[in-house]
Amino acid sequence: MKEVFDYVDRHASEFVRELQGFLRQPSISAQGKGVEDAARIVERMFSSLGARVQVLRAGEAAPLVTAEIPGGGEGTLLFYNHYDVQPPEPLDRWQHDPFGAEIDGGKMYARGVADNKGDLVARVKAVQALLNTRGNLPVTVKFVAEGEEEIGSPNLERYAKEHPEVFRADACIWETGGRDEEGRLEITLGCKGLCYAHIEVEGGSFDLHSSLAAVVPNPAWRLVWALSLLKNDREEVLIPGFYDDVREPSPREVALIEKLPADPERLAKQFGVDRLVLGLVGTEALKRLYFGPTCNVCGLSAGYEGPGSKTVLPSRAMAKLDMRLVPDQRPTDITRKFEDYLRAKGCGDFRVTWLGAEHPARTDPDSRIVKVLRETVVELYGKEPLVFPTSAGTGPMYQVAAQFGTPTAGIGIGNVGSRVHGPDENVSVSDFLEGIKCMALVLERFAG
Amino acid sequence: MKEVFDYVDRHASEFVRELQGFLRQPSISAQGKGVEDAARIVERMFSSLGARVQVLRAGEAAPLVTAEIPGGGEGTLLFYNHYDVQPPEPLDRWQHDPFGAEIDGGKMYARGVADNKGDLVARVKAVQALLNTRGNLPVTVKFVAEGEEEIGSPNLERYAKEHPEVFRADACIWETGGRDEEGRLEITLGCKGLCYAHIEVEGGSFDLHSSLAAVVPNPAWRLVWALSLLKNDREEVLIPGFYDDVREPSPREVALIEKLPADPERLAKQFGVDRLVLGLVGTEALKRLYFGPTCNVCGLSAGYEGPGSKTVLPSRAMAKLDMRLVPDQRPTDITRKFEDYLRAKGCGDFRVTWLGAEHPARTDPDSRIVKVLRETVVELYGKEPLVFPTSAGTGPMYQVAAQFGTPTAGIGIGNVGSRVHGPDENVSVSDFLEGIKCMALVLERFAG
């Protein structure tokens, strides 16, 4: 691989500039900002590889940009990525322009650089490096890049139904990943599912003087009471049947967790909290993080939120909630139970809008792709990777891979300080360049 | 009084223009906007009466603008008003510029026109009309105009301690009031007290990816749980001892409520709600409105509040709450019980800032000023006024009057559609002009 790695080193600054260009294009799916422009950048990147590129459409959905480059050997490896990013808000918490892609102290700062534009570019450049040094690829490579991952991939199921051929592969490399605080690469074998609820409660037809609070119902109170019935302060989700389909992790999966360095307390400190929920420590905290479903308040809004006091009875109240699901919970089942419960509690007039619903998925830890990734990491970095039976996060692994029986593993260029979804999201420039080499080596090893 | 009323009629458009000028000056105490400029306008208005004007200062507080005009006869009547207004937000709910003072269909629209710049100007113009027609006033008139009423008059107690002489009077006319849907003038004999809490809950040092919700405490959940412990959905405040000092209303006060037209349901419909809390109807609803203390969510904020979905674990959550107190609840006692309760419930780390605390106050319904107002209204409008033993709202009646033993009654130029504290606050231009005549007549009658 020396010639391939040399190629990467020679083209390093050019690759960095290309990534910066991509990052400077906002592509905020939640706000409908710049998504089409980002898709065109992806299309051009894929085309530059000489790939067969398709920009697939499904109604008003963001396009699915796909590519296929035939390989010299047997087998097909699919790269799943997304070109959309989370909203950058709250902007006042950023030290760097979220769409400036500034490099500062060896780190590149931008919304989406870790999740996951950096990985998408690293994979494209790995293919380019192989093609430009060897003339062809060891295996067939497919790319699927979607533009709605950060809003729960609402149209990916439809794309998968209408174009199953662009997804079929022998294995899939998932969108993102990173290193732990000691620099060990992390390999991730699953995704949690998700149900995302936007809840609106209406009261009077306009905000009222709060003296009327003695007799006029307050939608903010109604929302608070309803939320307090969804989860109690022992962190138990109270929706009847919520836990019914939670599958016990296999002994093999539990063993992977037990092999992980169990220092979630250190992580807690890094995030600025004193303790984890329920005072959990060690492996118990990790088991809850990876095998437990969640019910989380993402946002609240009602009445007067400005400085000082305003004595007002709000006319509406809003909450955003996400629930992360684990196998074998099903989003349609959970959303139904959620709505039934609210209705039973006298909240049938709440307007619940589901902004995305995703199945959980997990890959067998003994799959071949897991072995290939592990061996690649040992060869390249000289250190055993950490293998996670699942991510604590969500992705459309079911639609992209699990429903086609494709074993899937995630690996990427982020690190424990990458602040994914937060302000000052960043990656190390050197990790980006290493990531290109890593992906080239994975392709070679996968060919056997 | 004919010559006085003729004077008002002749100067009507000039008086309207003066009120518009005052309304176009924002004076939002909660946001520190324009308060000093509004104080200067008040100072000029008082000076134009030839009054002895003082602009009193207390540290950084908004100035207290006071005036005294000696009268020909015995007795002193105090007008209490404020020149600050509520914030106009949410701006998108206004059909008119909140600081435009547009006249549309006989109504003048502006933040503060009903609460209570319109009344302040009407009272100044009543004095002007008497002086310019008769050469002097029947009784001594005092004005006290403060600039912090809408943030709970935090410095009025200090002003009252340092300058008691500007408050002393034989009776006090309160800042505002209005008519009911049948045009009957309302006279109000008390104010509820208030404790206003701004509550902040901190979590991690920045917003986190919500996948961490399985193990990282969420300040929005902690806030929701704490709020749900403050009041239950049977509208019972759960703070221990909250109701201890609630005084049973006197039979005379209850009789006043029972004489009121008991149609709070109609009011409910006007505000766009189907029913009142607990399904209350008739006199029971009115008793709760006037004699019951409240605990009300004025505002909520946490995490992502924008369009679409963002899977985030908020780093902070905020609530604004007001509690309206009735005699003999004391704000210092309630704030202490509130904080003790939060601490006992494991919320000792919540940051509670008290933005204003006010004593409740009530005037004896048999006081002479009540009789004067009633007779004036019958003479001028030919209809019995409605007498309320108290307002459902709050004002610093204790600091201004009750602590000096001054009987106090409120009357004003608003109406049931005036949208006090809401968007499109308004009064009828004709009510403003009638209000000038009404105040002139009150001064004459008060002289006996």
Count interface pairs A-B at CB distance under 8 A.
336
pLDDT at B317 over 90: yes
- For residue A269, what pLDDT band results from cuts at 50, 70 and 90? confident
Mutate to test the interface with B, among A284, A320, A350, A353 (most CBs of B within 10 A): A320
- The mean per-residue pLDDT over the stretch B10-37 comes to 97
Interchain contact A301–B (C-beta under 8 A) = yes
Question: What percentage of residues in chain B have a pLDDT greater than 70?
Answer: 99
Q: Does A21 touch chain B (CB under 8 A)?
A: no
* Cβ within 8 Å of A, B 341-380: 346, 355-356
CB contact, 8 Å: B89 with chain A? Answer: yes
Indicate the fold that domain A193-246+292-358 takes in CATH.
Alpha-Beta Plaits (3.30.70)
Let me know: does A191 contact A329? Beta carbons within 8 Å: no
Q: Which residues of B touch A288 (CB under 8 A)?
A: 214-215
CB contact under 8 A, B204 and A273: yes
Q: Collapsing DSSP states into helix, strand and coil, what is residue A317?
A: strand
What is the predicted pLDDT for the residue at A151?
87
Cβ of A285 within 8 Å of Cβ of B213? The answer is no
B276 at A interface, C-beta within 8 A = yes
State yes or no: pLDDT of B114 exceeds 90: yes
Please determine, for residue A173, whether its predicted confidence score (pLDDT) is greater than 70: yes
Chain B positions in Cβ-Cβ contact with residue A322 (cut-off 8 Å): 210, 213, 309, 311
In this complex, do A301 and B301 lie within 8 Å of one another by their Cβ atoms?
A: yes
Categorize the per-residue pLDDT at B264 as very low, low, confident or very high, splitting at 50, 70 and 90: low
Instruction: Judge whether residue A154 has pLDDT over 90.
Output: no
Confirm or reject contact between B306 and chain A (CB < 8 A).
yes
How far is CA A285 from its chain centroid? Answer: 21
Testing the interface with A: which of B150, B211, B277 to mutate, by most A Cβ within 10 A? B211
What number is the average pLDDT over the span A214-229?
A: 97
Residue B355 φ then ψ, to 5°: -100, 75
Q: What percent of chain A has pLDDT over 70?
A: 99
Instruction: Spell A316-337 as b/e; 16+ CB within 10 A means b.
Output: bbbbbbbbbbbbebbbebbbeb
Q: Report, as an integer, the average pLDDT of B253-264.
A: 86
Residue B273 has its nearest CB partner, among A203, A292, A307, at A203
Give the per-residue pLDDT at B268: 79
Which helix H or strand E contains B222, and what residues bound it?
helix B219-230
Average pLDDT over residues B309-322: 95
Residue B199: half-sphere exposure toward Cβ, Cα within 13 Å:
30
The reply to whether A289 touches chain B by the CB within 8 Å rule is: yes
- Taking CB atoms and an 8 Å cutoff, what residues of chain A touch B294? 210-211, 213-214
Cβ B408 vs Cβ B414: under 8 Å: no
* Contact with chain B for residue A207, Cβ under 8 A: yes
Mean pLDDT within B248-260: 93
pLDDT value of residue A264 = 66
Q: For A278, left (φ over 0), alpha (ψ -120 to 50), or beta? A: left
Is pLDDT of A357 > 80? yes
- Tell me: pLDDT of B395 over 90: no
Least confident of A123-137, A248-262, B183-197: A248-262
Interface membership of A250 toward B (CB under 8 Å):
no
| B229 band by pLDDT with thresholds 50, 70 and 90 | very high
Are B210 and A277 within 8 A, CB to CB? no
CATH architecture of the domain with residue range B2-192+361-446 = 3-Layer(aba) Sandwich (3.40)
**How many angstroms separate the CA atoms of B219 and B46, rounded?**
50
Residue in chain A closest to B264 (alpha carbons) equals: A215
**For A289, nearest residue in chain B (alpha carbons):** B214
Q: Is B29 on the interface with A (CB under 8 A)?
A: yes
B30 and A419 within 8 Å at the Cβ level: the answer is no
Q: Which of A95, A208, A211 to mutate to test the interface with B (most CBs of B within 10 A)?
A: A211
Residue B261, token pair as written in the block:
């037209």
Query: Among A296, A322, A324, A358, which would you mutate to test the B interface (most chain B Cβ atoms within 10 Å of its Cβ)?
Result: A296
Cα of A19 to nearest chain B Cα, Å: 23
Whether residue A224 and residue B221 make contact (CB cut-off 8 A), yes or no, is: no
Bond preceding residue A98 cis, omega within 30 of 0: no
Q: Does residue A279 sit at the B interface (CB-CB below 8 Å)?
A: no
CB contact under 8 A, A304 and B298: yes
Domain B194-246+292-358 classified CATH 3.30.70.360?
A: yes
Q: Which residues contact B108 (CB under 8 A, 6 or more apart)?
A: B16, B19, B20, B23, B101, B102, B118, B426, B427, B428, B429, B432
- Residue in B30, B276, B290 nearest the CB of A310: B30
How wide is the angle at C-alpha A349 spanned by C-alphas A343 and A351, nearest 5°?
Answer: 100
Does the beta carbon of B255 lie under 8 angstroms from any beta carbon of chain A? no
Question: Per the CB < 8 Å rule, is B304 touching A320?
Answer: yes
Helix H or strand E encompassing A129 = helix A118-134
Mean pLDDT (chain A, rounded): 95
- The residues spanned by each domain of chain A are 2-192+361-446, 193-246+292-358
**What residue of A is the nearest CA neighbor of B92?**
A206
pLDDT at B262 over 80: no
User: Using an 8 Å Cβ cutoff, are A163 and A363 in contact?
Assistant: no
pLDDT of residue A338: 98
Measured distance CA(A217)–CA(A313) in Å, rounded: 9
CA distance A233 to chain B (A): 7
Helices (H), A195-329: 219-230, 251-259, 264-270, 282-291
Closest residue in A to B222 (Cα) is A233
For the cut 80, the answer to whether the pLDDT of residue B355 exceeds it is yes
Question: In this complex, is the C-beta atom of A315 within 8 Å of any C-beta atom belonging to chain B?
Answer: yes
Query: What is the three-class DSSP state of A448?
Result: coil
Per-residue pLDDT of A279-296, as tens digits, reads 998 899 999 999 999 999
Give the whole-angstrom CA distance, residue B209 versus residue A289: 12
Nearest to A217 among B228, B277, B320 (CB): B277
Which of A180-184, A372-376, B160-164, B230-234 is the least confident region? A180-184
Partnered with residue A208 across adjacent β-strands are A313
DSSP 3-state of A218: coil
A206 contact residues in B (CB cutoff 8 A): 93, 271-272, 419, 422-423
3-state secondary structure of A369: helix
Q: Please say if the pLDDT value at position B289 is more than 80.
A: yes
Nearest CA in chain B to A421: B209
Model confidence at A194: pLDDT above 80: yes
A318 and B306 in contact by Cβ < 8 A? Answer: no
